[in-house]
Chains A and B, each alone.
Chain A
């Protein structure tokens, strides 16, 4: 049996991090829809026996009115290919859930209960699925659970494998927590999951990861997972990239740049062959004559969906050691700022640049 798994698409997510480019966030939300269409198409092309979604398909708190029609149509297009949806903590199955309102085509099955319920995929093959009924505090679905029949048993739910919380980084709270060690005693051969955005292929469970980038820094091979269920219940996995969007992290060395235009030209050259959204970290030595703000770089690569500028390891292009030895106001100012214990490295750099520029007779005092 061949299954296609995806999770954590987060339709209608907000993209504040994309920056001020007009319509960038709107285009990214459209890209999420395009990615879902590609996933569905993949399932059809692969002649999958079912399409599984491990939750967080959309965001209950911010879905738009036409999301309903979009979801209805996208899954109806592959009827009669079965689609199984296990609501997560962002698309929980409450009274106002979009899942309750859409007139789903007959091939769509939404797990309704906050406990694992069986669906027969084939003779001797059962899929157990569960739904979150609240945005938080959902207990583990495997606590006290055991299958009640023979054959091969698969699970589909949105949950936090306890061993993976730290790896997933800050901001991930446990939802429907469980341990990998619970799977075998529960009689489950494999669990298809959602919630963690970083993909993870373990012996008895699979996190596909979010298929389309939701922020920068998302590493790992993520996309949709084509899972082939073996007769003994083991699972062979193959990942297929389905994301429409791309994100990139690059570094821009400002050393030697004397003007805004030079900085922009460097950025243009770095991003010439890139598409999607780019986060550029500025580093290097800032020439005293350079007057540059992140906003000045915004239109340096207009073909990108979004450009986010952040500050990295920047050094003022002044010879601070020499200036600090001056018996002048400038020297004393520099010594005092360098010695100030309450300034962070970035604050120290910026305070120094402001003072030195002001003493140089300059009016461009908004420094990087």
Chain B
């Protein structure tokens, strides 16, 4: 590819101005403020246009726009005509303002070929070279500052080569990229052993979260167990209290029954005593004594009669009137006996009556005693009141309890002891239950939050997974990058050496005849006529600059699509050179221009003079720039 012309329709200070180029060396001379930088930018923009994409422009794009927008406010436009190696002549047209009317047209056939080179929304002529608008700058354009940097830092020779080998945009070397990845990994991930690094901290957070979750789950289980135990203890306490109530109710019921029985008996006794109160006991005894005495008293008439008969009989008997006498005696005796029997029966009867009376009296006395014993000093009314109270108390204690249970409750003979024992059991059970309730309340306040612990663990694990995956990605990227670096350096080293070797003798005035490029480091070594190999970085400034230019050409060759040739655009690359070096560089450029177009912008009269003498009119051209005329 080579430029045939570039037209600044409205670009910086220029309006409808045009430069035409030769296929070889083009020296564009202009003093300061003649617009060299503007033409350089127009050349670039005429080929590559500007990116048209959504979003805000990049900083470098904003700087380019601010610097090269038309001074007079016209619509910013530029065009260029290029000739490709396949013979096509293409006119590129760029509306840099609206980026709408941008196109590439086959100037001979009139066919729009923009589609071949659309990149980032706009036609980019660098695509025909296998580059793009960013890599074209890094590949085709050599600035004064770059040569100065080589002069001041010889190692930049190697670095710039590495950078170019790494990426067509030459932002960074592969080694620097690898270091960047490694440093990022160390800072953002670190190793499991480094305590202050994110990975180790994430591992610790996960471990802590797992422990917290385990503790939360354990606390949850303990809370549940505690709740179950509290419930069981509550049941125990309720059962013990129930037993105590039953015992109390049973005892109260028994006591009430005893009082009821007692009252009933009192009433019975009272009624009996009221019906048959106890009489005077001595009268009965006196009465009974004669009846119970040894003598039985006969009535006097009967006794007199018996006596008369007895005497009469006796008299008769004595008188010899035996039979009548005996009969009278017997009759008296019989009469007497009969009377005695009668008297005896009557006496017995009397005795029995007396005895019965005594018995009744004693019974009444016993009843009275019993009554008094039952009353125990109380009146019947008082006894009735106490009995009622006991019954009420029993009813109260039995309230809510099953009557059958109360009746069936096995009251021990020593009910008091039994009650005391049951009360103690109920108290102890209530105490255990209360303690469990207290523990449960305390645990409730602590609130083991299992869900929150699970969420914290999930978050910690997610962070750990993120770091691990990031580490894996970085490791793979580094692995691929290392392999790519090795492979490309291995491939490019001999190609660069071959490319440089073609021009080395010529540009170094036979001082160096061979070149080697280290396939690992891309360090350039040259062999002098003495046969010794020397690092190009350690050569003289002039030689180093020449080697650098050759390297740029070599890289341009490597990076350009096969079948195309990338032009070189240089900007004041000899301004810091002394006369001899300047000539050497210019000769090198002329040599290079035999194979590719070289456009050299310069402000130096020496360069102009050299060009005027050395240029081949058939292939080369000298362009003089006049300072732009500002609109009135």
Contacts and interface: CB of A to CB of B under 8 A. Distances in A.
Whether A associates with B in a native complex is: yes
Interface of A: 12-18, 20, 25-26, 29, 59, 61-62, 64-66, 95-96, 100-101, 255-259, 262, 287, 289, 319, 322, 325-333, 336-337, 340, 343, 347, 350-352, 354-355, 358-363, 365-367
A99 to B, nearest CB: 12
26 contacts: A14-B458, A16-B455, A29-B451, A61-B220, A62-B450, A65-B223, A66-B447, A256-B55, A319-B120, A325-B561, A326-B167, A328-B164, A328-B488, A329-B165, A329-B488, A329-B489, A333-B484, A347-B473, A347-B476, A352-B477, A354-B474, A358-B177, A358-B477, A358-B481, A359-B166, A365-B188
Nearest to A335: B484
B172 A355 contact: no
A18 B452 CA distance: 12
Nearest to A337: B480
Contacts of A59: 451
A257 B55 CA distance: 6
B558 interface: yes
Contact of A332 (B224, B484, B558): B484
A313 B561 CA distance: 32
B55 A365 contact: no
Contact of A256 (B54, B224, B476, B561): B54
Interface in B285-335: none
Contacts of A331: 168, 488
B452 A333 contact: no
B610 interface: no
A347 B55 CA distance: 26
Given A333-B484, A363-B184, 16 more contacts: A14-B450, A29-B451, A65-B223, A101-B231, A328-B165, A328-B166, A329-B489, A330-B166, A330-B484, A332-B484, A343-B476, A352-B477, A355-B177, A358-B172, A366-B184, A366-B470
Given A64-B447, A327-B558, A347-B476, A358 B181 contact: yes
Given A322-B132, A336-B480, A358-B477, A95 B228 contact: yes
A363 B167 CA distance: 16
B483 A336 contact: yes
B389 to A, nearest CB: 37
A121 to B, nearest CB: 30
Given A12-B451, A354-B181, A365 B492 contact: no
A363 B180 contact: yes
B445 to A, nearest CB: 8
Contacts of A16: 454-455, 458-459
Contacts of B174: 329, 359
Given A322-B127, A327-B558, A359-B167, A20 B459 contact: yes
Contacts of B220: 61-62
Contacts of B169: 360
The 6 A-B residue pairs with the shortest CB-CB distance, nearest first, are A256-B54, A16-B458, A62-B450, A358-B177, A354-B477, A258-B55
A367 B477 CA distance: 12
Given A25-B455, A256-B54, A262-B55, A327 B487 contact: no
A325 B452 contact: no
Interface of B: 53-56, 58, 119-120, 127, 130, 132, 135, 164-169, 171-172, 174, 176-178, 180-181, 184, 188, 217, 220, 223-225, 227-228, 231, 443-444, 447-452, 454-455, 458-459, 470, 473-474, 476-477, 480-481, 483-485, 487-489, 491-492, 558-559, 561
A359 B172 CA distance: 5
Nearest to A330: B167
A328 B452 contact: no
Contacts of B223: 65
B227 A355 contact: no
Contacts of A319: 119-120, 132
A152 B13 CA distance: 96
Nearest to B119: A319
A203 to B, nearest CB: 38
A96 B168 CA distance: 71
A15 B450 CA distance: 11
Contact of B451 (A13, A343, A350, A367): A13
B183 to A, nearest CB: 8
Q: Which of B164, B165, B172, B178 is most buried by chain A, counting CB atoms within 10 A of its CB?
A: B172
A336 B484 contact: yes
Contact of B224 (A96, A337, A360, A366): A96
Contacts of B120: 319
Given A14-B454, A14-B455, A287-B55, A330 B168 contact: yes
Contacts of A259: 56
B553 to A, nearest CB: 15
A329 B167 contact: yes
Contact of A329 (B119, B227, B458, B484): B484
Contact of B227 (A15, A96, A336, A358): A96
Contact of B130 (A25, A61, A287, A326): A326
Q: Which of B166, B481, B489 is most buried by chain A, counting CB atoms within 10 A of its CB?
A: B481
B451 A62 contact: yes
B172 A62 contact: no
B56 to A, nearest CB: 5
Contacts of B53: 256, 287
Nearest to B164: A328
A362 B130 CA distance: 24
B480 A333 contact: yes
B212 to A, nearest CB: 13
Contacts of B443: 65
A283 to B, nearest CB: 15
B172 A360 contact: yes
A57 to B, nearest CB: 15
Contacts of A18: 455
A359 B171 contact: yes
Contacts of A289: 58
A333 B105 CA distance: 34
A241 to B, nearest CB: 25
Contacts of B448: 64
B472 to A, nearest CB: 8
B444 A65 contact: yes
A259 B58 CA distance: 11
B171 A360 contact: yes
Nearest to A258: B55
A110 to B, nearest CB: 16
Contacts of B178: 358
A25 B452 contact: yes
